[in-house]
């Protein structure tokens, strides 16, 4: 066996750096949106509107019960067929073509939003009821109490778990190769099949993920420790 | 007209009747201390007064207006009724200063500068002028409770409710909190204080109310209650706590 890591690195490397850009972009946007989705879902499920609670619970069950990869396919290939079909029926000509990266971001926002909403919901429930009572006793409304005191404390307590999900999302971006996003895996696969440097390419790919996720995990641990100290 | 007039107040949790027929009237400037055994409904009575609990029956008149029925003006009403809790319930993510000035800036639209000045003044008054930038977790229980008192005062309430403000504190920290409360009483603050501190009741109260089993069993001046209680339940209770 003979390896050509140097050659593989020199030619695949620059392409993977572009891929890293895609990964960071998708993760940053996807994760930010997923936090917003998660907060809205959590608040919806804590609301007193019974039908809303039911609908959201079912929605979350569906998302959690199906693979993320299938959801990416669904958003990328199926949703646009529906949209174009419906607008056809209404008499419009549309040829909506969703971009693969956009489909990925939407998929992440929804999928991670559902998982993280459970985290936020239990963090909200876990806040000492004395906080609510202190807020109400001062003259704040239930909504203001939620906004000013409960949500900030719950989000802060959830930060360590957010960190875990962030690292997971980085790694899950590899699934986007399946819907043609030019992220790291797809670039590597293309390169490997052209050059037959299979061992070199996939080893470099694995290292690439480590280079991103290890410092990120480390950062999360540091932040977690800081939060514990200042409590 | 009494500032606060509780009439035939009752409260049940499911089948459990906690308050049966409570009548209490508090004049402006009066300090009323409520004593009684555990489970007699003291906290529930206080929590009904600022509608943290919805009464099951009866009326609560505040400056002549029945606030049980007032519905959505409840937040408006609560601004005038401060509450100090057994477990302080400070906001952990806010500094001491922010704990005190947050409500006035948000609810009374007080300018930041003005609110800050007032908050510092109040914190000085409770002896914590040197702690304004600390977080609650950095303070002792007694200090936290004094911040909680300053926080309640910042809304300039007409009446302050205390629910066992010192019973979560180490014995050596109780004194500072009671000192602040005495000072408030001296300045004419209207206060309803649920406490097991009989010394405080004797020294500061204008009137002592003994509750048992969801009723006001007896009320009188501290001197009368402590030296010559009339009801057997009051006698038994005092015999137990004063020994
Ligand atoms: N939210 C609630 N749900 C059900 N029962 C309650 C609730 N709050 C209080 N109770 C019950 O009501 C009774 C009176 O409670 P309360 O806290 O008013 O008594 P207390 O006089 O303040 O006692 P303590 O001196 O122990 O504080 C108790 O039996 C308690 O278990
Ligand atoms: Mg109590």
Restricting to A residues 189-208, those with a Cβ less than 8 Å away from any Cβ of B are none
Give me the pLDDT at residue B215, please: 95
ipTM confidence score: 0.95
B54 CB less than 6 Å from ligand 1? no
Residue (of B39, B52, B121) closest to B84 by Cα position: B52
Q: Whose CA is nearest to atom 26 of ligand 1?
A: B38
Q: Whose CA is nearest to atom 31 of ligand 1?
A: B39
Rounded CA gap, B164 and B34, in Å? 10
Neighbours of A139 (CB within 10 A): 24
Contacts of A32 (CB under 8 A, 6+ apart): none
> CA triplet A214, A220, A225: central angle to 5 degrees?
130
Give me the pLDDT at residue A91, please: 84
Number of domains forming the structure of chain A: 1
CA A64 to chain centre: 13
A97 pLDDT band (50/70/90 cuts)? confident
CA of B209 to the centre of ligand 2 (A): 15
Give me the pLDDT at residue A93, please: 80
CA A125 to chain centre: 23
Contacts of B143 (CB under 8 A, 6+ apart): B128, B131, B176
* A139 close to B (CB below 8 A): yes
B38 CB less than 6 Å from ligand 1? yes
Which of A86-90, A146-150, B136-140 has the least mean pLDDT?
A: A86-90
CA of B215 to the centre of ligand 1 (A): 13
Give the domain extent around A38: 5-230
Closest ligand to C-alpha of residue B53 is 1
Nearest CB to A149; choose among B83, B87, B91? B91
For B9, the 3-state DSSP assignment is: strand
Please state, in angstroms and as integers, the Cα–Cα distance from residue B190 to each residue in A83, B33, B42, following that order. 66, 11, 18
Q: Whose CA is nearest to atom 29 of ligand 1?
A: B39
For residue A231, pLDDT over 70 is answered with: no
For residue A94, pLDDT over 90 is answered with: no
A96 pLDDT band (50/70/90 cuts)? confident
CATH, residue A43:
1.10.3720.10
Q: What is the DSSP letter of A70?
A: H
Neighbours of B200 (CB within 10 A): 22
B16 CB less than 6 Å from ligand 1? yes
Chosen for mutation from B75, B81, B95, B156 (greatest number of chain A CBs closer than 10 Å) is B75
Q: Chain B residues within 8 A (CB-CB) of chain A?
A: 50, 52, 75-76, 78-79, 81-83, 85, 87, 89-93, 102-103, 106-107, 135, 137, 148, 151-152, 155
From the CA of A39, how many Å to the nearest CA of chain B? Answer: 19
Give me the pLDDT at residue B70, please: 74
For A7, the 3-state DSSP assignment is: helix
Q: Along the 243 residues of chain B, how does pLDDT read in single tens digits?
A: 899 999 999 999 999 999 999 999 999 999 999 999 999 999 999 999 999 999 999 999 999 899 988 766 899 999 999 999 999 999 999 999 999 999 999 999 889 999 999 999 999 999 999 999 999 999 999 999 999 999 999 999 999 999 999 999 999 999 999 999 999 999 999 999 999 999 999 999 999 999 999 999 999 999 999 999 999 999 999 999 887
**Structure token pair of residue B229:** 């209680």
The 10s digit of each residue's pLDDT in A13-59 is 999 999 999 999 999 999 999 999 999 999 999 999 999 999 999 99
Which residues in chain B touch residue A149, judged by CB atoms under 8 angstroms apart?
A: 91
For residue A83, pLDDT over 90 is answered with: no
- The rounded percent of chain A whose pLDDT value lies above 90 is 84
Q: What is the DSSP letter of B203?
A: H
Please state, in angstroms and as integers, the Cα–Cα distance from residue A109 to each residue in A26, A40, A52, A54, A164, following that order. 10, 12, 20, 21, 16
B42 CB less than 6 Å from ligand 1? yes
* A1 close to B (CB below 8 A): no
CA A56 to chain centre: 19
């Amino acid at each position: 066996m003979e390896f050509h890591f140097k050659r593989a690195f020199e030619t695949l490397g620059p392409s993977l750096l572009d891929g890293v850009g895609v990964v960071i972009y998708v993760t940053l946007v996807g994760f930010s949106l997923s936090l917003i989705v998660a907060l809205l879902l959590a608040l919806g499920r804590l609301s007193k509107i019974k039908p809303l609670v039911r609908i959201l619970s079912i929605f979350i069950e569906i998302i959690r019960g199906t693979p993320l990869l299938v959801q990416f396919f669904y958003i990328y290939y199926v949703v646009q067929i529906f949209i174009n079909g419906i607008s056809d029926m209404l008499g419009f000509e549309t040829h909506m073509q969703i971009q693969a990266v956009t489909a990925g971001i939407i998929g992440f926002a929804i999928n991670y939003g559902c998982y993280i909403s459970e985290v936020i919901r239990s963090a909200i429930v876990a806040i000492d009821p004395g906080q609510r009572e202190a807020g109400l006793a001062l003259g704040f409304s239930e909504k203001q109490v939620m906004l000013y005191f409960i949500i900030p404390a719950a989000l802060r307590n959830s930060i360590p778990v957010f960190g875990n999900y962030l690292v997971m999302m980085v790694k899950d971006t590899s699934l986007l190769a399946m819907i043609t996003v030019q992220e790291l895996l797809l670039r590597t696969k293309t390169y490997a099949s052209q050059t037959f440097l299979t061992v070199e390419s996939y080893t470099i790919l694995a290292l690439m993920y480590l280079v991103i996720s290890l410092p990120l995990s480390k950062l999360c641990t540091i932040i977690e420790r800081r939060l514990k100290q200042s409590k | 007209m009494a500032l606060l007039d509780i009439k035939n107040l009752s409260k049940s949790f499911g089948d459990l009747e906690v308050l049966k027929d409570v009548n209490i009237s508090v004049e402006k400037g009066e300090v009323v201390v409520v004593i009684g055994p555990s489970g007699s409904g003291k906290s529930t009575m206080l929590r009904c007064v600022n509608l943290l609990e919805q009464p099951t029956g009866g009326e609560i008149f505040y400056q002549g207006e029945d606030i049980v029925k007032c519905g959505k003006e409840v937040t408006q009403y609560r601004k005038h009724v401060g509450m100090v809790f057994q477990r302080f319930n400070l906001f952990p993510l806010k500094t001491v200063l922010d704990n005190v000035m947050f409500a006035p800036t948000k609810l009374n639209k007080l300018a930041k500068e003005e609110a800050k000045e007032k908050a510092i003044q109040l914190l000085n008054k409770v002896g914590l002028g040197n702690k304004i930038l600390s977080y609650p977790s950095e303070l002792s229980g007694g200090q936290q409770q004094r911040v909680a008192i300053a926080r309640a005062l910042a809304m300039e309430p007409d009446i302050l409710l205390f629910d066992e403000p010192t019973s979560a504190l180490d014995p050596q920290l109780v004194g500072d909190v009671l000192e602040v409360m005495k000072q408030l009483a001296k300045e004419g603050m209207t206060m309803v204080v649920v406490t097991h501190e009989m010394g405080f009741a004797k020294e500061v109260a204008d009137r002592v109310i003994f509750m048992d089993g969801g009723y006001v069993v007896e009320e009188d001046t501290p001197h009368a209650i402590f030296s010559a209680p009339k009801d057997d339940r009051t006698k038994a209770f005092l015999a137990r706590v004063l020994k």
